[in-house]
């Protein structure tokens, strides 16, 4: 379905502001709670909570994050899921979201309805109400920016800082080739993130959005390098398929491709890894876990050279 329409009567601008907002509430349905906890006042109101709050924001932009080949439903789902993945990466739980739309005059109402229905279905699945937003006109294109409020479960916020030299590096799932479908179909690792944040041997965590080779730098302690073996990298079937067409290796795709939305985390050096890994297997029998290597003082021949690989670079 195309984002744009040439028929004026099928555009969102033909609805006007008030009817468009009423339509958005209808499309969201039960995903949009009643005022003052939802759309319709100057601010949305969230009930008090005794916990530390988490805030993250990520958009989907036409021509950048999706094009006419994407289903509008999938675009709406992805908008919320990419933000859920950030909450998962801190070991938190999501609470509520607001969405700001910037639309040009020729956006199709049908497209937007399907987009909101996708957003609403993900909102219900993860129990994250859409509590507010904004609709603005812009000269060209479509951007939807979602801000997600979450909170920590216990006393602990698991950040990117905390790994030490000698610590082990783990990743969930399989990597690379996300563009072939995973970037829409992925499941944010909320349950895994919560479980990991509660274990004190886990020292740091993030979600993979720009590719392992680039993202791992954020967890690497000063004076250390990641010593990874190529055989330990969980290469996805999509990365293998993509490699057939791209002329690059499947391993390259696993290291460099963006949008894996998997959890990358580190385990304190002295941890009993076998015990940790069996505990994982009992708790998450269907989520693959790979030990990639550890942080070391220097790299040795046989280790992967991540510097040679460029992850996804924004604004280039």
Of residues 173-212, which lie at the interface with its own copies (CB under 8 A)? 206-207
User: Cβ closer to its own copies: 135 or 269?
Assistant: 135
Task: State in angstroms the smallest separation of the CB of 286 from its own copies.
Answer: 24
**Residue from 24, 74, 80, 89 that binds its own copies (CB under 8 A)?**
89
User: Cβ closer to its own copies: 57 or 237?
Assistant: 57
**Residue from 1, 2, 8, 61 that binds its own copies (CB under 8 A)?**
61
Token output for 199: 């274990």
Task: State in angstroms the smallest separation of the CB of 49 from its own copies.
Answer: 7
Question: How many alpha carbons lie under 13 Å from residue 176 in its C-beta half-sphere?
Answer: 22
**Residue from 6, 7, 9, 48 that binds its own copies (CB under 8 A)?**
48
For 42, residues 6+ apart whose C-beta sits below 8 A from its C-beta are: none
**Residue from 43, 231, 245, 298 that binds its own copies (CB under 8 A)?**
43
Q: Which of 58, 190, 47 is nearest to 131 (CA)?
A: 47
**Residue from 30, 42, 282, 301 that binds its own copies (CB under 8 A)?**
42
**Residue from 66, 72, 75, 86 that binds its own copies (CB under 8 A)?**
86
**Residue from 20, 171, 196, 213 that binds its own copies (CB under 8 A)?**
20
Binding of residue 72 to its own copies (CB under 8 A): no
Binding of residue 161 to its own copies (CB under 8 A): yes
List, in sequence order, every residue forming a beta bridge with 175; answer none if it has no partner: 235
Binding of residue 55 to its own copies (CB under 8 A): yes
Find the helix packing angle between 109-125 and 72-88, rounded to 10°.
30
Q: How far apart are CA 80 and CA 120, in angstroms?
A: 9
Number of neighbouring beta carbons within 10 Å of residue 168: 21
User: Cβ closer to its own copies: 47 or 247?
Assistant: 47
- Answer yes or no: are the C-beta atoms of 210 and 312 closer than 8 Å: yes
Q: How far apart are CA 130 and CA 146, in angstroms?
A: 9
Binding of residue 316 to its own copies (CB under 8 A): yes
The CA–CA distances, whole Å, from 67 to 2, 83, 175, 254 equal 9, 20, 23, 23
Number of neighbouring beta carbons within 10 Å of residue 301: 5
Q: How far apart are CA 226 and CA 303, in angstroms?
A: 9
User: DSSP secondary structure string, 57-68?
Assistant: EEEEEBTTTB-T
CA angle 155, 156, 161 (to 5 degrees): 155
**Residue from 31, 32, 58, 234 that binds its own copies (CB under 8 A)?**
58
**Residue from 31, 39, 80, 90 that binds its own copies (CB under 8 A)?**
90
Kindly identify the residues of this chain, within the stretch 98-157, that bind its own copies according to CB under 8 A.
98-100, 102-103, 105, 131-141, 143, 145, 147, 149-150, 152, 157
Binding of residue 57 to its own copies (CB under 8 A): yes
User: Cβ closer to its own copies: 114 or 131?
Assistant: 131
What DSSP element (H or E) covers 28?
helix 17-28
Binding map of its own copies across residues 217-256, x = CB under 8 A, - = no contact: ----------------------------------------
Task: State in angstroms the smallest separation of the CB of 244 from its own copies.
Answer: 29
Task: State in angstroms the smallest separation of the CB of 54 from its own copies.
Answer: 4
Q: What is the dihedral of CA 238, 209, 95, 71, to 10 degrees?
A: -50
User: Cβ closer to its own copies: 227 or 263?
Assistant: 263
Q: Determine how β-strand 168-172 pairs with β-strand 289-296.
A: antiparallel
């Amino acid at each position: 379905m195309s984002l744009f329409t040439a028929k004026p009567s099928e555009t969102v601008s033909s609805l006007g502001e008030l009817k468009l907002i009423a339509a958005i509430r209808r499309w969201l349905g039960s995903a949009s709670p009643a005022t003052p906890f939802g759309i319709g006042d100057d601010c949305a109101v969230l009930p008090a909570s005794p916990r530390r709050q988490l805030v993250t924001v990520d958009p989907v932009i036409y021509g950048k994050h999706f094009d006419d080949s994407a289903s509008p439903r999938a675009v709406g789902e992805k908008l919320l899921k990419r933000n859920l993945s950030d909450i998962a990466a801190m070991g938190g739980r999501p609470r509520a979201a607001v969405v700001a739309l910037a639309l040009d005059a020729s956006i199709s109402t049908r497209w937007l309805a399907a987009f909101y229905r996708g957003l609403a279905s993900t909102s219900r699945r993860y129990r994250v109400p859409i509590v507010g937003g904004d609709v603005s006109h812009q000269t060209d294109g479509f951007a939807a920016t979602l801000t997600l409020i979450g909170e920590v479960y216990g006393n602990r916020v698991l950040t990117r800082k905390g790994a030490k030299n000698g610590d082990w590096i783990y990743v969930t799932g399989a990597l690379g080739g996300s563009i072939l479908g995973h970037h829409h179909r992925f499941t944010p690792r909320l349950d895994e993130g919560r479980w990991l944040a509660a274990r004190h041997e886990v020292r740091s965590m993030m979600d993979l959005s720009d590719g392992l080779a680039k993202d791992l730098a954020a967890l690497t302690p000063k004076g250390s390098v990641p010593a990874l073996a190529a055989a330990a990298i969980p290469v996805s079937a999509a990365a293998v398929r993509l490699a057939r067409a791209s002329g690059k290796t499947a391993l390259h795709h696993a290291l460099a491709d963006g949008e894996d939305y998997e959890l990358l985390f580190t385990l304190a050096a002295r941890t009993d890894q076998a015990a940790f890994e069996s505990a994982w297997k009992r708790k998450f029998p269907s989520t693959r876990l790979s030990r990639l290597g550890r942080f070391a003082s220097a790299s040795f021949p046989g280790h992967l050279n991540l510097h040679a690989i460029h992850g996804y670079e924004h604004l280039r």
